[in-house]
Amino acid sequence: MTVGVRIFGGLQRFTRGVAELTLDMNPGATAWDVVIRLGIPDNEVWFAAVGGVRVPREHLLKDHDRVDIFAPVGGG
């Protein structure tokens, strides 16, 4: 299955500066499988969203889903 991925908050350093990409994933893949496939460490990710909605790590993806991956945001 094919999913679109958008990377936010400086996580593009794990994708060589690419902010949007398309991945072929195996059926049964989860939102967190995308994070793992991209080699992004757990502590670098705040949350993942599918179709603009925050989802748990175990959320099962469907063909043509869009996964957004967000880094933690600091403030002060």
pLDDT of 1 > 70? The answer is yes
> In this structure, is the dihedral angle defined by the CA atoms of residues 62, 63, 65 and 68, taken in order, positive or negative?
positive
Specify if 7 maps to a domain. yes
pLDDT of 70 > 70? The answer is yes
Specify if 25 maps to a domain. yes
User: Can you tell me the mean pLDDT for 40-59?
Assistant: 96
Average pLDDT of the chain is 94
For the chain, the domain total comes to 1
Specify if 6 maps to a domain. yes
pLDDT of 47 > 90? The answer is yes
By C-alpha distance, which of 22, 20, 35, 15 is closest to 65?
22
Q: Residue 61 is part of a domain; what is its CATH number?
A: 3.10.20.30
Specify if 75 maps to a domain. no
Report the predicted TM-score, pTM, of the whole model to 2 decimal places: 0.90
Specify if 76 maps to a domain. no
Specify if 54 maps to a domain. yes
Q: Say what the pLDDT of residue 73 is.
A: 79
Domain of residue 24: give its range.
Answer: 2-70
User: Can you tell me the mean pLDDT for 34-43?
Assistant: 96
Specify if 14 maps to a domain. yes
